[in-house]
Amino acid sequence: MSETMTPSVDDFAEMFEASVVGKQSFEDTVVKGTVTGIEKDMAIIDVGLKMEGRVPLKEFTMPGQEPTLAVGDEVEVYVERVENALGEAVISREKARREEAWYRLEKNYENEDRVDGVIFNRVKGGFTVDLDGAVAFLPGSQVDIRPVRDASPLMNIPQPFKILKMDKRRGNIVVSRRSILEEDRAEHRQEVVKDLSEGDSREGVVKNITDYGAFVELAPGVDGLLHVTDMSWSRVNHPSEVINVNDKVQVQIIKINPETHRISLGMKQLAPDPWEGVAAKYPLNAKFKGKVTNITDYGAFVELEDGIEGLVHVSEMSWVKKNVHPGKIVATSQEVDVMVLEVDESKRRISLGLKQCADNPWENFAQEHPIGSIVEGEIKNITEFGLFVGITDDMDGMVHLSDLDWDKSGDEAIKDYEKGAVVKAKILDVDPDKERISLGIKQLDGDPMDHAGDIRRGSDVTCEVTSIESGGIEVKVGGEEGPKAFIRKSDLSRDRNEQRPERFAVGDKVDARVTAFDAKTRRISLSIKAREMADEKEAVEQFGSADAGASLGDILGAALKDND
């Protein structure tokens, strides 16, 4: 019979140390435990090694859900410390779930898998989401495809999310609900688009209206853009003029982008194109009634029928009103008579004229005021090339610089006139096509050249001195009504001592020879010196020469005596 050995003190020490080491190895690990009891809101869990711990019941369920834990259930918990002051293990179900969740979520993130979670709280810039133990951040921009004003219906319910970013060291997870919705919509849209073809006619519901068009839903989650230009053949300033939100409309699929699956829609394409055969329907120079639909700086658009508009350019709006905004001639919605000036069916353009449906005042003026008629009017404007004189309330005539004065240059003569002065003028020309009236002021007195006699180069004329200047003298040729000319100082005499302007007086009569005459520029060049030299030459030829023994004084004396 063997003897029973009693453990020594050393044996008890080794056993105690082994039990302590075993317990300490539990710390900071996840272990399995058994629920031994439930007291109020706490669960009592046996984690082994004759230790129990307490965990709040709320750690065993998702936010917003009731716990279903029962005695005998086996659960995983995280051991933070083996014993506290009460001799219990400090354990946590939440930390165990977090460790498990991070391991699972990292794999989901790598595989770009969806994860389930619950939005349980609102924070600055977004919301917090429980991903079955791990807490993630949901930015406000990632909640839905469109901005969400009230997110309360989305909270505390399980739903899928996509992980955008993970950082375990910092404990950060960013998720998106919007990405899931976009993926689902794209898949659904792709399936629906497969059954659509360009040219198909479909019924849709107007979901949204913008300044440039409307979005029409063809199927749940699948919409197309109905551009404002494709709503009607007529001009549409804003989509709300044609459709309203929630209207059911019949549309035609114009285009489907195979890459983006964007759909372009049209309404007008379901009706006949009014531009087909428009050239035959609106022949040139024919007159029609229309309604002004739009006014711009360069003209006005006139609707001839639904879908057919033509442009009345500002230059075709009035015979007499120039540089006037079209809005001062016509008004929107006004009915007007117009004439067809040009039709380009391929470019869908019609040029119209408004003034052509009224009498041409320029033609009437030409009939009532023949060339040579005298008119009177106020100087409306002075420009670098002449005067504009108001002949009627709406019509102006122009006096060119060259028609201001017979003797003065245009730049000099225009200084005698000022804006607002009333002047008389003679009608020189009327051009109804160019809408021009040419006037002349100098023509009122007749042409001084008509009173100058026979003027040609080499002829001698008698002049009257009208002005004494330092560079010569101004004279009138052929009497009081004759043209003016200027004799330069060097042409006053063949004798240098006599080339002094001051030896003449206003009113003196002098004879001079025409050295140059330009009928086009009306320029006359005179010279007393040239006439004297011509007389001397003639005398020498008639009475002899100095070589024959007679002096120049004798010859001229004989010539003068003969003249006497």
Residues carrying CATH 2.40.50.140, the chain: 33-111, 112-182, 195-270, 278-357, 361-445, 448-543
Identify residue 550 by its one-letter amino acid code.
A
Topology (CATH level 3) of domain 278-357: OB fold (Dihydrolipoamide Acetyltransferase, E2P) (2.40.50)
Asked if pLDDT for residue 408 goes beyond 70, the answer is: yes
Asked if pLDDT for residue 357 goes beyond 70, the answer is: yes
Q: What's the token pair of residue 328?
A: 């001062």
Architecture per CATH, 448-543? Beta Barrel (2.40)
Q: Give the pLDDT score at 16.
A: 40
Asked if pLDDT for residue 521 goes beyond 50, the answer is: yes
Sheet with 74-81, edge to edge strand ranges = 51-56, 42-48, 29-39, 74-81, 90-92
Q: Give the pLDDT score at 314.
A: 92
User: What's the CATH class of domain 361-445?
Assistant: mainly beta
Tell me the chain's radius of gyration from C-alpha atoms. Answer: 55
Asked if pLDDT for residue 2 goes beyond 60, the answer is: no
Residue pair 409/431 in contact by the 8 Å Cβ criterion: no
Write the Ramachandran bin of 365: left for phi over 0, alpha for psi from -120 to 50, otherwise beta: alpha
Cβ contacts of residue 329 below 8 Å, gap of 6+?
Answer: 300, 317, 318, 321, 354
Per-residue pLDDT tens for 132-191? Answer: 778 899 999 999 988 888 888 999 999 999 999 998 788 789 999 999 988 888 777 777
Mean pLDDT of 8-18: 46
Per-residue pLDDT tens for 28-54? Answer: 677 788 888 888 888 887 777 677 778
Q: How confident is the model at residue 452 (pLDDT cuts 50, 70, 90)?
A: low
Topology (CATH level 3) of domain 195-270: OB fold (Dihydrolipoamide Acetyltransferase, E2P) (2.40.50)
The model carries a pTM of: 0.46
Architecture per CATH, 112-182? Beta Barrel (2.40)
Mean pLDDT of 391-395: 82
Determine the Cα angle at 518 with ends 489 and 408, to 5°: 65
What's the per-residue H, E or C state across 239-263? Answer: HHHCCCCCCEEEEEEEEECCCCCCE
Q: Which residues of 223-234 are buried (b: 16+ CB within 10 A; e: fewer)?
A: bbbbbbebbbbb
Topology (CATH level 3) of domain 33-111: OB fold (Dihydrolipoamide Acetyltransferase, E2P) (2.40.50)
Mean pLDDT of 443-466: 77
Cβ contacts of residue 250 below 8 Å, gap of 6+?
Answer: 201, 202, 203, 267, 270
DSSP one-letter code for 180: H
Per-residue pLDDT tens for 76-86? Answer: 777 777 665 55
Q: What's the token pair of residue 425?
A: 């003028």
Residues in the chain, overall count:
564
Helix, strand, coil percentages for the chain (3-state, nearest 5): 25, 40, 35
Asked if pLDDT for residue 12 goes beyond 50, the answer is: no
Cβ contacts of residue 241 below 8 Å, gap of 6+?
Answer: none
Tell how strand 436-440 and strand 396-400 pair up. parallel
